A and B are shown apart, each in its own frame.
Chain A
Amino acid sequence: MNDWLVVVVIGLGTYAMRLSFIGLLGTRPMPIWAQRPLRFVAPAVLAALVVPAVTLSDGAMDVTPLGNPRFLAAVAAALVAWRLKNVAGVIVVGMGLLWALQALG
């Protein structure tokens, strides 16, 4: 399937989910069994995106500071995210540390 078609299908599916209760199902409340899993979508999905991206280097796990500087940079960025709650700060610290470690390596 071509990439454009993939994007269109995702767009239609996303719109359908946004529209679901507002447009079609009226005011019927969402059943609890459906609400529970949705609460964990954000932490599970985001961690599944982040962990492999910062612990793998050329397809193999490597968390040494010079072998894979992305891991240490990500740990520092996570601390910034926790203490400061500021997206721009997380990016500045993470990218800055990555560049510093790459310059050393």
Chain B
Amino acid sequence: MKYRAKYTKGDNVKFVGHLDLLRSIQRAIKRAELVVKYSQGFNPHQVFSIAQPLAVGHTSVGEYMDFELVNDMSEDEVKQRFNDVSPEGIKIIEVRKLNDGENKAAALVEYGSYKVVLDKNISDDTIKNFISQDTIEVEKETKSGTKIADIKNDIIDAKIEGTVLHATISTGSNQNLKIELLAKALYTYAGEEFDENKIDVERQDLYYMYKDELKGLME
């Protein structure tokens, strides 16, 4: 039986890297005595995947993993068992059984929403003007050096409440925008100096586009 779980990555575990997180979750699954199916072949591994890596230093209340269990078990029991033995900060919020033929979360994800605590005051007007520009150009670092990219189409929505930026942007294996790039562009536009180590990022949720509407992965 295939399952999808929505889980958190809390403040106390935000510096755990992606591969370390994978291993930690797989160990928690083992401790929970959830019998995960193993792949065939010379080097069997758990049938398990994570929707979209989260950058080191970011927290999240909307991460997703897909896995396949040998036995059929109720969603509540899966959640309960995992949360009883998972590290503080890595907790399942919700579990859903997947239907046959449903796409993996990793293949679906296209957008993510973020909450960013800024270290400078930027007014709501500024951000309105910022996102209504015809193009929003940033310097993107690639393997072959830096290049100028237009990120306008990667921004679905961006607004400010107090010193908190709420933004929904491209997040996924096809099209991806680093939230720090958006924040940097915004700071530059507002004439503020940007230090990516001084903002706090929390991912809120992940989505895909279905008939021109954002859809959550648990729907």
A and B found bound together: no
